[in-house]
Chains A and B, each alone.
Chain A
């Protein structure tokens, strides 16, 4: 069964460093998303991406964040100058169409120390 895969499963980084979280969406999907969940809090929408551009972003997704689809398979989230409060589980998701089911990856746990 096709699935969304995320790497790494756990990343530890020092405050101020840049991290890139990687995702391989399901191959025929057109819409891609990043969500995050800070420990003990809700899963929060960050950004959606379609046709090589951001289609929607939340107030969390500021200039510190960027997304990219560098090739035909990967979808990345870059976080510049990480802060302690960026520590969270980051989920990638993809969907075939706009109003169809979003399939989620298993998440990357980011720990900023």
Chain B
């Protein structure tokens, strides 16, 4: 079955880069996602990576996937105060279903 692990808390100074890590167990994962949750808001999809890719860059966001180690990371360049949120990684396994397996989330606090 799927299991996704994340560390819990990260503080970062505004303008610095922040890196959030995630490990997963299901080697049949097809897509891996990063969601952002701001206070009082829903889960917003930030970016995703298909399992046959190693890296994806989207503006300030860089996703790295190490499929051998089942390790996913999200790097946020030039972190802004608006990046303060909880970040969830999630995986989707196989085809024909849309069930997402989430990690516990990583709270990022950006210090001005």
> Which chain A residues have a beta carbon within 8 Å of chain B's beta carbons?
3-4, 6, 31, 33, 35, 40-45, 48, 55-56, 58, 91, 93, 95, 98-99, 101-107
Partner of A48, one of B40, B97, B105: B97
- 9 nearest A-B pairs in the assembled complex, by CB-CB distance: A43-B102, A104-B43, A104-B42, A106-B42, A45-B99, A105-B42, A42-B104, A42-B102, A106-B41
A43 to B35, CA, bound (A): 11
Tell me which residues across on chain B come within 8 A of A45, comparing CB atoms.
Answer: 99-101
A41 to B88, CA, bound (A): 12
State whether A98 and B104 are in contact (beta carbons under 8 Å apart), knowing that A106-B41, A107-B42 are contacts in the complex.
no
Closest to A3 in B: B42
Cβ contact within 8 Å between A101 and B96: no
Listed A/B pairs (23) with beta-carbon separation below 8 Å: A6-B42, A31-B98, A35-B100, A42-B102, A42-B103, A42-B104, A43-B102, A44-B102, A45-B99, A48-B97, A48-B98, A55-B97, A56-B97, A56-B98, A56-B99, A91-B43, A95-B98, A98-B96, A98-B98, A101-B48, A105-B42, A106-B41, A107-B42
